[in-house]
Structure 1
Amino acid sequence: MNPAEQQPPTQDGNVLGAAAAPTQGPPQLPPQMFTTAAQLLDLTDNFNPTEKLMLVLRDGRKLLGVLRTWDQFANLVLTETKERYYVEAPSPAGSPRKLFCDIPRGTFLVRGENVLLLGEIDLDRDDEDPPGYVEGPVEEVFEIQKRQENERKKNDKTKARKAGDFWGGELEGSGEVLF
């Protein structure tokens, strides 16, 4: 008999005294599974200065800019930031015109808990208008945005009042974003 056959195998199946196969470390997660604030490292401009991001905040605002730095709470500092507005304006032809505009905001600090969505901007398509939208004058787009926001707030108050009447009480500030 072979001496290696006489020895009992170990837990990993190798025979004591036999040459062990190289062991592998613990299984690694694929990069797309890395979902902590440390994933922002690849998006920070210190490592990739041409990386632009779009953030959608909890209040609905959309910001485009270069990620300068961040911390363990995912608080973000963006430079060259622009706030983008999308609106649908009535047109004489009957179908609404879809307009957008960018308002320069400079350096912007965003608290991590306010980030709803964060995504990279494709630099090859960055100079193109968003599909279906045409760039409009900032004053016009901003005015339409304010009107739509006031209308939404008015509708929300009406809904809250009706819900309060139905449930027999007032629903103070439920769902309202305070600034």
Structure 2
Amino acid sequence: MSWAGPDEIFLSTSLAGFLDKKLIVLLRDGRKLLGTLCSFDQFANVVLQGACERVIVGELYCDVPLGLYVIRGENVVLIGELVWFWIEQDREKDELPAHMTCVSEAEIRKAEKAEREARDLKGSMRKRMEFLDFD
């Protein structure tokens, strides 16, 4: 067994600077999780406290609460610190584009379903029309 060189040590501790900070974690399946980094290991397995999933459909979004959440490192695509814009009235609000509308979880799930059905319909129509493609 060999000892880890300086490069390996640096990589395994690179998340140390993010401990107790609000992060966004992009997962392989496209989900976006927000939460405070509590712990991590050398495989990028992370534990988020006060986690929520931010679901965005068009101009609608919803933060679905998850609580304490463990993420397997192989599913992590990107980890980044959330930048907070300090507003005098609300210091806990992250800045979103003005056109985005916060909706309930039920509304965002309904919008997700409608978007998925539209995408499936477009795919099935394309499949039916393949015979017209004369490449």
- Kept in 2, the 8 Å contact 1:58–1:115? The answer is yes
% identity of equivalent residues:
35
1:121 lines up with 2:82 in the alignment? yes
1:133 lines up with 2:103 in the alignment? no
Larger radius of gyration: 1
The structure carrying a bigger helix percent of its residues is: 2
- Per the TM alignment, residue 66 of structure 1 is displaced from its structure 2 partner at its CA by 0.5
TM-score relative to the length of structure 1 = 0.55
| Structure 1: gaps spanning 5 or more residues | 1-28, 46-50, 89-97, 164-179
TM-score relative to the length of structure 2 = 0.71
Q: Which has the higher contact order (CA 8 A, sep 6+)?
A: 2
**2: CA distance, partners of 1:79 / 1:148:** 30
Partner in structure 2 of residue 26 of structure 1: none
**1: CA distance, partners of 2:125 / 2:46:** 36
Mean CA deviation greater in 143-152 or 79-88 = 143-152
**Cα deviation 1:15-72 (Å, max 9, x = unaligned):** xxxxxxxxxxxxxx9xxxx972321001012xxxxx1000111111110000110111
The structure carrying a bigger strand percent of its residues is: 2
**Cα deviation 1:139-158 (Å, max 9, x = unaligned):** 11121123324554676688
- Relative to structure 1, the CA distance from residue 76 to residue 128 in structure 2 (aligned partners, 3 Å threshold; closer, same or farther) is closer
Partner in structure 2 of residue 81 of structure 1: 51
- Kept in 2, the 8 Å contact 1:129–1:135? The answer is no
| Structure 2: gaps spanning 5 or more residues | 1-6, 87-91, 131-135
In the comparison of the two structures, how many residue pairs are matched?
A: 119
